[in-house]
């Protein structure tokens, strides 16, 4: 199974500083803790390594943390761009935590 990341996020995934992802809806709900996934650059489709799922949790948009100085509305707009759809506070997301697998 492939788990895609935006090209700008690949370095953070590979250096271990990015260890979780939030995915709109439940497309990846079949994944379970301890499953292996291939890390894919969503733009180039290049495979960049393997990760193991360490946690799976259902949350809503309001539970998705903002990063650094990003506001909730900036996060909303960024995710709307990724998913090409409007994001509302009670939209369901799947939180997947992971670590690189060697």
* pLDDT tens digits for range 30-76: 999 999 999 999 999 999 999 999 999 999 999 999 987 789 999 99
CATH number at residue 40: 3.10.400.10
Owning domain of residue 20: 2-100
What is the arithmetic mean of pLDDT over 78-96? Answer: 96
User: In this structure, how many other beta carbons lie within 10 angstroms of the beta carbon of residue 82?
Assistant: 13
pLDDT exceeds 90 at position 22? yes
Number of structural domains the chain divides into: 1
Is-contact 20 65, C-beta < 8 A? no
- Where helices occur in 1-102 by DSSP H, the ranges are 10-14, 72-83
Q: What is the pLDDT of residues 90-102, one digit of tens each?
A: 999 999 999 999 8
- DSSP letter (8 states) at residue 42: T
């Amino acid at each position: 199974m492939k788990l895609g990341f935006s090209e700008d996020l690949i370095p953070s995934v590979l250096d271990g500083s990015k260890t979780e992802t939030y995915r709109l809806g439940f497309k990846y709900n079949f994944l379970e803790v301890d499953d292996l996934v291939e890390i894919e650059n969503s733009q180039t489709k290049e495979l960049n390594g393997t990760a193991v799922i360490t946690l799976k949790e259902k949350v809503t948009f309001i539970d998705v943390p903002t990063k650094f100085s990003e506001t909730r509305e900036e996060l909303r707009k960024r995710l709307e761009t990724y998913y090409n759809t409007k994001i509302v506070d009670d939209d369901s997301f799947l939180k997947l935590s992971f670590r690189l697998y060697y």
